[in-house]
Chains A and B, each alone.
Chain A
């Protein structure tokens, strides 16, 4: 499998290159940028998952506290009701938040398939700039012919750097 990593100096150059590559029907493109690209920056299952986890944590803990204080271990404190639902709100809220945060954090690792400490693209020297000021696009393909075609097209786009790597 072959990989081509092309670097550009500005996000506009990268956007232009992406448009050309897509027009030539070159698939399996991955961009690596120091700041999020505007395009494709939205759409993620995480907010919904976090919301669901938060609600589940809230409801689940209200049920648990109800069971504990009403059925399992009722305690008469000055005749106050055992099912004192307003008193359950603070803990239920905190647990809901904790569930949402944990799902957001670990869910991120799952949807991004992280931690992935090594990727063949790391072999490219120019790739160090991806976390600084370089806008990169990586093309991965198994077809050598397709790779040569992609390489020829990339060279016409005047990238700041081009490197090939064994993907």
Chain B
């Protein structure tokens, strides 16, 4: 194949991704990049595809509202949970969503600390994912409370009975971890957005948009002082967010490990859950960037290099998860606890065997196709694998929550669980809410972190200039 002259290269739009793509197209300048990203946020009318995607998502969000309203009216008896399976969709979907959110934070914070250049153009999408994933997760624990109007009992507050919260309980750790995570995520997300809101404010043409983005930018102008403190504080925030995300998902794991239920009572759970967070995070971020890069023409910022790296990371986390499944089986039979063994055999061969083997197939076996470099760049294959991983992660949580509970220590208490319509409607409702949030952020918020992209473009250009210097 002959090498085309740089100016003869086809426009980035529609060019197939290649593994040796640069992190950012050299043709991109800081001015053209800023203009394009601002233009997306400032479009007068939304794209047609945006409406086609948004309307069903809003409909599902309304379904969520209706489901919650009926739940508050009728109580959690409308769900399929009953003795012995008292934790159903609410808990497993909570864990699933919090994993998706955590994956976004890992890309945004951990890879910032590692100085990974590919993280720059996708970090805003990852942060939106973290925000709306955390929002979707955050409503479940409240719904799951039998008496949601007493949710504030989780806080300690002055009361005439002299009661205090029980701080030694993992469930209370989880409450504080979630509160911290949601607040810290919002602060971290907004902090990195201020310079970009300033760029949009300065490009806005209508007074209304100038005012709204001006207020959102809080008067960020890129002065020496503003940049200096922002750099310092953002670095520390990222250094904080990375362990927080590990802590939140570990604590979710400890909710389970703290209980003496067969299949849960294991020190393996915290790291096992963090691996799951990585796997679902990488798959959702791929599912978001693949359509967005094409629909918004971001192929020169989100290149084949990004797909290649993310697929490799997805494969790595799939291997970590597979290791955790293997150890789960190993410790069960090595440990010699009869109830654990009975539960595990029921899990693998009993009523819920399709859930277990589905999990293994979707999370462990299918991602192995990413050993092939060609398939790591094949977008339909990536989408198919990522969708299956997202479903696989949900099945994994179903497996952990439901199959462990359906075989408790006492055989007389065995039973099965079936979700009801309201379980499903709440789940698809949160999916609709998550996607509505993502679509709104795509519409109104700079979808790429422009100030970090400008730094990246400046350093890559300086590096190229140094390489060409005599």
Contact = CB atoms under 8 A, between A and B. Distances in A.
A108 B230 contact: yes
B166 to A, nearest CB: 6
A131 B202 contact: yes
A47 B30 CA distance: 29
Given A46-B229, A133-B29, A94 B166 contact: no
Contact of B221 (A73, A88, A119, A133): A119
A94 B180 contact: yes
Interface residues of B, number: 63
Contacts of B226: 112, 114
B232 A47 contact: yes
A91 B173 contact: yes
B177 interface: yes
Contacts of B108: none
Given A32-B222, A90-B247, A41 B176 contact: no
Interface in A83-106: 84, 87-88, 90-91, 93-95, 97-98, 100-102, 104-105
Contacts, number: 188
Contact of B233 (A32, A42, A107): A107
Interface residues of A, number: 62
A119 B34 contact: no
B420 to A, nearest CB: 34
A22 to B, nearest CB: 13
Given A65-B167, A108-B191, A130 B156 contact: no
Interface in B233-253: 233, 235-237, 240, 243-244, 247, 251
Q: Which 5 A-B pairs have the closest CB atoms?
A: A44-B232, A115-B218, A116-B219, A36-B227, A73-B164
Given A97-B240, A108-B233, A131-B198, 15 more contacts: A34-B30, A37-B227, A41-B228, A42-B228, A43-B232, A46-B236, A84-B168, A98-B179, A101-B188, A102-B183, A105-B237, A115-B215, A130-B221, A131-B221, A131-B222
16 contacts: A34-B30, A36-B231, A40-B224, A41-B227, A42-B232, A46-B233, A50-B236, A68-B165, A69-B166, A88-B168, A95-B180, A104-B233, A111-B229, A117-B214, A128-B203, A133-B29
